[in-house]
Amino acid sequence: MKLLVHYLSPLKKALFWGFSIKILASVLELLLPYILSYILDSVVPAGEMKMIFFWGGMMILAALGAYFGNVAANRNAARVARDASRAIRHDLFEATMHLSSREVDGLTVPSLESRLTSDTYHLHHFIGMIQRIGVRAPMLLIGGIAITFFLDARLALILLATLPVIGVSIFFITGRGLPLYQKAHASVDGMVRVVREDCGGVRVIKALSREQYEKERYDAANRKLVADETRAGVTMALTQPLMGLFLNLGLVLVIFAGAYLVDRDLSKPGKIIAFIQYFTLMSSSIAVLTRIFVDYSRSLASARRIDEVLSVYHAHKESPDTGDAATGEIALEFRDVSFAYGEKYDTVSHISFSLERGKTLGIIGATGAGKSTLLRLAMRFYEAKDGEILVDGLPIAHYGEAELHKKFGVVMQSDFIAADTVAENIRFGREISEEKVRRAAALAQAAEYIEAFPDGYEHMLSAKGTNLSGGQRQRLLIARALAGDPEFLVLDDASSALDYKTDAALRRTVREALCATTIVVAQRVSSVMYADLILVLDRGRIIGAGKHDELLENCALYREISESQMGGAILE
């Protein structure tokens, strides 16, 4: 549990304070049966009322001290658990946001979501519990054993004989429980994945009348989770009944032996009563310790999953921001670049081209040809398998992540819109003035519909922009990309929902108002035909490169696409 040690170290003063109060309160609890035994065996037979009231008052003070001490310690425990889990969630979220696309693919988004939610909750619960009862239970158990030895070693040995059996049982059951909880966590990931997919595709599900199919798919994931949780829970549930069985057997033997000793005047009734009370304390302590072992198994599995993400993040070798100014005329260059997502074959293969600063690159090709992959490689979402990629004359590995991404204004195929105002969705947390927000909206052909809202740029959007049309969403996303005055404007099929007139107006205003190097990925020839360089991709390879007129003459696939879409016409 190095993870917990790391996050609890800054809170060691609060931990020390809480543990100190908890130890003091536990000592006061342990004194209560002993004082009662002393009153019954020594004070009552003497008949001194003052001493009876005195020791009775001491019991009341000890009980009140234990109560208020436990309350104060438990409140402190809640604060420590809150602060530690907040730090864990913060670092885990930061790590998640900085994972590479390949790392996200490996860990999977549903798994990352469950680590940020259920796994951090398990750690929060465990941190609080270990402070509330992780000190008190061992203190009562060990202290109870010590005091019973002081009261009567013969009876204490009978009770102590059951403890090794209890310890061995806990050890073996906990060893079986940990892998079962890890399997249950994997099932949680599977169920989250189904929920996430269904929530994202709910409109398609309804349109195809597949509600029953998705219900059955969710039920299957839910049943698997229930089965795995049940298997883990049943295994760990064996601990408490076994503890109770062994302790009760020990108590029966203590009562028989105590009755025998009292009958022969070798012990006193007060000691037997104290023994029973101490047994009750120890019994409840062992039950609590059993809960701790159960939660420890669950929390250890969660800690390992969280630490896996943090370890991947900390293993990153981040290049420092260079601060180098752009040099030369070449803004982006691919040199014999190949890449695969993990399959046996390359997604893109032997890609080479160069794009001058301020020029426009168009990328066109069939679905799955590798168009979006080139963009992901250029922004270093993935590392190229072979070859070299240069931005402003420098290898992309030379840039820090933040420095590289700041150069790009991007509109991806699956961009999202937050439940916030129009202005904040364009600004997107960046320090961008109101004037730049409005200018970006105008360039993106979005100002007209935004200003038609009664509250204009303060109009509240729903999550994913469901209260906008498809074309309005795309123009808003383009405005977001333009607002940061990027060096590179990347449009990945960003005009698919726009009509030809709006698309043409958008291309014209961007070309005239911006000095950015533009990269356009599109299915439509009309979106790339005015580019300074057009790449035609087929199965991950460049089969044509040049301007529109050149490709019409030299590239059969481009000519076929152009004629099927426009009949060879020139549109503006």
Partners of 546 in beta bridges = 534
Per-residue pLDDT averaged across 465-489, rounded? 85
Read off the pLDDT of residues 189-244 as tens digits, 9 standing for 90 and up: 788 788 877 877 777 788 778 888 888 888 988 888 888 888 887 777 776 677 77
Determine the distance from the C-alpha atom of residue 546 to the mean position of all C-alpha atoms in its chain, rounded to a whole number.
Answer: 45
Q: How far apart are CA 299 and CA 405, in angstroms?
A: 36
Q: Does 558 score more than 70 pLDDT?
A: yes
Concatenating the DSSP letter of every residue in 314-326 gives HT--PPPP--PPP
Rounded (10°) angle between helices 136-151 and 269-314: 150
More confident residue, 514 or 401: 401
Q: Which of 26-30, 232-236, 322-326, 410-414 has the highest mean pLDDT?
A: 26-30
Rounded (10°) CA dihedral 274, 280, 281, 286: 140
Pairing mode, if any, of strands 541-546 and 488-492? Answer: unpaired
Q: Does 325 score more than 90 pLDDT?
A: no
Contact 306, 119 (CB under 8 A): yes
Q: How far apart are CA 159 and CA 135, in angstroms?
A: 22
**Which of the 8 DSSP states describes residue 445?**
T
Q: Does 377 score more than 60 pLDDT?
A: yes
**193-207, 316-330, 441-455, 483-497, range with the lowest pLDDT:** 316-330
User: According to the model, what pLDDT value does residue 178 have?
Assistant: 66
More confident residue, 218 or 565: 218
Contact 11, 131 (CB under 8 A): no
Order of all β-strands in the sheet with 394-395:
348-356, 330-339, 386-391, 394-395
Per-residue pLDDT averaged across 448-476, rounded? 86
Q: Does 322 score more than 60 pLDDT?
A: no
Q: Does 323 score more than 60 pLDDT?
A: no
Cα radius of gyration (the chain): 35
Fold of 416-485: Rossmann fold (3.40.50)
Q: Does 299 score more than 70 pLDDT?
A: yes
Query: In 457-527, which ranges are continuous DSSP H helix?
Result: 470-483, 500-513
Read off the pLDDT of residues 359-376 as tens digits, 9 standing for 90 and up: 889 999 888 888 888 988
Residue with tokens 């005009």: 495
Per-residue pLDDT averaged across 93-114, rounded? 84
Per-residue pLDDT averaged across 528-557, rounded? 89
SS3 45: helix
Residues composing the chain:
572
Per-residue pLDDT averaged across 134-143, rounded? 83
User: According to the model, what pLDDT value does residue 31 have?
Assistant: 86
Rounded (10°) CA dihedral 243, 246, 249, 251: -60
Per-residue pLDDT averaged across 114-123, rounded? 88
- pLDDT tier, 570 (very low <50, low <70, confident <90, very high otherwise): very low
User: According to the model, what pLDDT value does residue 327 have?
Assistant: 59
User: According to the model, what pLDDT value does residue 320 have?
Assistant: 57
Q: How far apart are CA 113 and CA 117, in angstroms?
A: 6
Contact 462, 488 (CB under 8 A): no
User: According to the model, what pLDDT value does residue 361 have?
Assistant: 92
**42-46, 134-138, 425-429, 446-450, range with the lowest pLDDT:** 42-46
| Structural domain spans, the chain | 2-180+236-314, 329-407+486-500+515-567, 416-485
Q: How far apart are CA 60 and CA 72, in angstroms?
A: 18
Which pair of tokens denotes residue 299? Answer: 């929390």
User: According to the model, what pLDDT value does residue 496 have?
Assistant: 67
Encode 393-436 in three state secondary structure: CEEHHHCCHHHHHHCEEEECCCCCCCCCEHHHHHHCCCCCCHHH
User: 499: buried, middle or exposed (CB in 10 Å: 19+, 13-18, 0-12)?
Assistant: exposed
- Residue 123: phi and psi, rounded to 5, are -70, -40
Q: Does 35 score more than 80 pLDDT?
A: yes
**218-227, 235-244, 388-397, 539-548, range with the lowest pLDDT:** 235-244
Contact 39, 270 (CB under 8 A): yes
Per-residue pLDDT averaged across 88-97, rounded? 90
329-407+486-500+515-567 and 416-485: identical CATH topology: yes
Q: How far apart are CA 91 and CA 94, in angstroms?
A: 5
**107-116, 267-276, 320-329, 344-353, range with the lowest pLDDT:** 320-329
Contacts of 490 (CB under 8 A, 6+ apart): 375, 378, 379, 408, 409, 410, 411, 481, 518, 519, 521
User: According to the model, what pLDDT value does residue 328 have?
Assistant: 66
Partners of 509 in beta bridges = none
* CATH of range 2-180+236-314; options 2.60.40.10, 3.40.50.2300, 3.10.20.590, 1.20.1560.10: 1.20.1560.10
User: According to the model, what pLDDT value does residue 571 have?
Assistant: 44
Fold of 329-407+486-500+515-567: Rossmann fold (3.40.50)
